[in-house]
Copies of this chain bind each other. A is one copy, B any other.
């Protein structure tokens, strides 16, 4: 029987609850957002006792479905003040799913100034005081816990940035190679830090596993689904070969690669940090070009990036990080960016927020454009140690902009705008503006259709069709984020006719139900509306569904593109 685990950090009690009927059909983002909306007062302080941190594996997580191993984390975000869902790979989701845990809900704040850890196993969850690992960075935590609890232990942990409750703190998830995947965006690591939880360990020995209502039907659908993933040129070829970093050259070519804190759309050093260069470098140094973030991933967009001596530096080295520390900061040294990526994993901070922040910091004159050595020093010595400058920076791009009086601050709802200029790729601008999460490219990845010709084509430089495109993708993404699927299944789902029906068939076979395509769309709509209502109750209005002023006053080369959507045009998004 599936269950909900609930931990109250105020009195350090734990409970095992049955799954309410209303939550039974939900998983992943659909479940975390539903729980947060139901149980967290929208106006509460995100780092206070009223906020709750919720983890939920997806509906298909723990099954043999390809790429279904992602974990959703949800809470009110201390960065944006909105509801927040952030999902990640790693081993935790599948372990929780096999244990029959629909969700882990953590509430309250300890009354004593002590640190704790949570331990999840087949019998439930327990709270223990933790002293040894407090102040430790993530890789050391994982190493120590594997020694303490065994190599197979699942681990969710926060680094010093989360302990210090900086609002760009992430939650790290151990991956199959004992490296790190991140619930990156929205400062959920600070929420975990506010609850004084350094780590959560998961032991799935004796787990009942996931029951499939119709195993034969599931098997057939899973095979069709996996084939679609492998057949599509993006998920089957581009991503496995170059990782997400395949996008540097593509966006640079399209003039949508934000450079020097969103001043221009092309970067002279693009080739030096591109996916192609990365592939050659990895190959030459004996790294791995393909690598999965969780068991069962067949896209394998991750990689193992080694240094010149062939020594491991980082994995999960994503386009958005490379763009942000690269083009946006005018750094063309891929090795330094890789090192920065590793440090960010280790101290536990969102690499997108931090990269956008560094662009603003360079604009403020705190460090020079392109100064990767100073960036590395700041990551380790300032942010990692929580100095005052580190705390400003650990609060993200908006925090830095406020402290230094910068007017060109690319954030929506205080969350840094990622890797795609909204003036020259207008669809993604609608997603940034309207997403319930603050600026978030994954919420409705219009790059697919604006740039990659997936799911048709909508001219990125024109306004026509962008609101509808973003709306359709945001609805679909909210549903996909509930399945535990990686967002990249959207590529085949948009182009290969058998893919989406196969995904729905897997859901039906798993639960013995009869969803159709409309049901999935309605689920997506419902999730967005639940999240949107939370935000409205937290004080957000359509006025906050806007891009920063400078996108409407400064054109961006090479297309001299400008953000020219009226408020009323943007607000059309919510007409569904």
Q: B43 and A165: CB pair below 8 A?
A: no
Closest Cβ of chain B to A330, distance in Å, is: 20
In this assembly, does A193 line the interface, its C-beta being within 8 Å of a C-beta of chain B? yes
Which chain B residues lie closer than 8 Å to A78 at the CB level? 405
User: Which of the segments A208-216, A233-241, A316-324, A544-552 contacts the partner chain?
Assistant: A544-552
User: Which of the segments A15-23, A480-488, A535-543, A556-564 contacts the partner chain?
Assistant: A535-543
User: Which of the segments A144-152, A396-404, A454-462, A468-476 contacts the partner chain?
Assistant: A396-404
In this assembly, does A206 line the interface, its C-beta being within 8 Å of a C-beta of chain B? no
Q: How far is the CA of A324 from the CA of B454 in the complex (A)?
A: 60
Q: Given A388-B389, A389-B388, is A43 in contact with B405 using a C-beta cutoff of 8 Å?
A: no
In this assembly, does A465 line the interface, its C-beta being within 8 Å of a C-beta of chain B? no
Which chain B residues lie closer than 8 Å to A537 at the CB level? 543
Q: B194 and A45: CB pair below 8 A?
A: no
Q: Residue-by-residue, is A178-198 near B (CB-CB < 8 Å gives 1, otherwise 0)?
A: 000000000000100110000
Q: Which residue of B lies closest to A543 (CB)?
A: B539
Closest Cβ of chain B to A486, distance in Å, is: 32
In this assembly, does A395 line the interface, its C-beta being within 8 Å of a C-beta of chain B? yes
Q: B45 and A407: CB pair below 8 A?
A: yes
Taking CB atoms and an 8 Å cut-off, the chain A residues in 254-302 that contact chain B are none
Q: Given A392-B392, A403-B399, is A539 in contact with B549 using a C-beta cutoff of 8 Å?
A: no
**Listed residue (A47, A403, A548) with the most chain B CB atoms within 10 angstroms of its CB:** A403
In this assembly, does A164 line the interface, its C-beta being within 8 Å of a C-beta of chain B? yes
Q: A405 and B549: CB pair below 8 A?
A: no
Q: B405 and A190: CB pair below 8 A?
A: yes
Q: Given A391-B392, A539-B544, is A407 in contact with B48 using a C-beta cutoff of 8 Å?
A: yes
Per a CB cutoff under 8 Å, which of B194, B388, B399, B549 touches A387? B388
Which chain B residues lie closer than 8 Å to A387 at the CB level? 388
In this assembly, does A166 line the interface, its C-beta being within 8 Å of a C-beta of chain B? yes
Q: B395 and A549: CB pair below 8 A?
A: no
Q: How far is the CA of A417 from the CA of B43 in the complex (A)?
A: 18
In this assembly, does A342 line the interface, its C-beta being within 8 Å of a C-beta of chain B? no
Q: How many residues of A contact B (CB 8 A)?
A: 39
Which chain B residues lie closer than 8 Å to A544 at the CB level? 539
Closest Cβ of chain B to A558, distance in Å, is: 24
In this assembly, does A167 line the interface, its C-beta being within 8 Å of a C-beta of chain B? yes
Q: B549 and A166: CB pair below 8 A?
A: no
Q: A194 and B405: CB pair below 8 A?
A: yes
In this assembly, does A513 line the interface, its C-beta being within 8 Å of a C-beta of chain B? no
Q: A193 and B405: CB pair below 8 A?
A: yes
Q: A43 and B194: CB pair below 8 A?
A: no
**Listed residue (A388, A546, A548) with the most chain B CB atoms within 10 angstroms of its CB:** A388
Closest Cβ of chain B to A352, distance in Å, is: 19
In this assembly, does A136 line the interface, its C-beta being within 8 Å of a C-beta of chain B? no
In this assembly, does A515 line the interface, its C-beta being within 8 Å of a C-beta of chain B? no
Q: How far is the CA of A193 from the CA of B406 in the complex (A)?
A: 12
Per a CB cutoff under 8 Å, which of B48, B190, B539, B550 touches A541? B539
In this assembly, does A224 line the interface, its C-beta being within 8 Å of a C-beta of chain B? no
Q: How far is the CA of A549 from the CA of B40 in the complex (A)?
A: 13
Closest Cβ of chain B to A537, distance in Å, is: 7
Closest Cβ of chain B to A386, distance in Å, is: 9
Per a CB cutoff under 8 Å, which of B49, B167, B392, B550 touches A388? B392
Q: Which residue of B lies closest to A164 (CB)?
A: B405
Per a CB cutoff under 8 Å, which of B388, B399, B553 touches A402? B399
In this assembly, does A333 line the interface, its C-beta being within 8 Å of a C-beta of chain B? no
Q: Given A50-B549, A388-B389, A538-B543, is A166 in contact with B405 using a C-beta cutoff of 8 Å?
A: yes
Which chain B residues lie closer than 8 Å to A50 at the CB level? 549
In this assembly, does A44 line the interface, its C-beta being within 8 Å of a C-beta of chain B? yes
Q: How far is the CA of A417 from the CA of B403 in the complex (A)?
A: 21
Which chain B residues lie closer than 8 Å to A194 at the CB level? 405, 407
Which chain B residues lie closer than 8 Å to A553 at the CB level? 49
Q: How far is the CA of A47 from the CA of B548 in the complex (A)?
A: 13
Per a CB cutoff under 8 Å, which of B165, B403, B405, B543 touches A405? B165
Q: B190 and A549: CB pair below 8 A?
A: no
Q: A47 and B407: CB pair below 8 A?
A: yes
Closest Cβ of chain B to A545, distance in Å, is: 10
Which chain B residues lie closer than 8 Å to A548 at the CB level? 45
Q: Given A387-B388, A388-B389, A392-B391, is A47 in contact with B190 using a C-beta cutoff of 8 Å?
A: no
10 new A-B pairs (CB below 8 Å) besides A47-B407, A48-B550, A190-B405?
A: A43-B546, A47-B405, A50-B549, A165-B405, A194-B405, A388-B389, A388-B391, A388-B392, A391-B392, A539-B541
Closest 10 CB pairs of A and B: A165-B405, A539-B543, A388-B389, A388-B388, A48-B407, A391-B403, A45-B407, A45-B549, A47-B405, A47-B407
- Please list 22 pairs of residues, one from A and one from B, whose beta carbons are closer than 8 Å in the complex, sorted by A's number: A43-B543, A43-B546, A44-B549, A45-B548, A45-B550, A47-B405, A47-B407, A48-B549, A50-B549, A165-B404, A167-B402, A194-B405, A387-B388, A388-B392, A391-B404, A392-B392, A395-B402, A399-B402, A399-B403, A539-B541, A539-B543, A539-B544
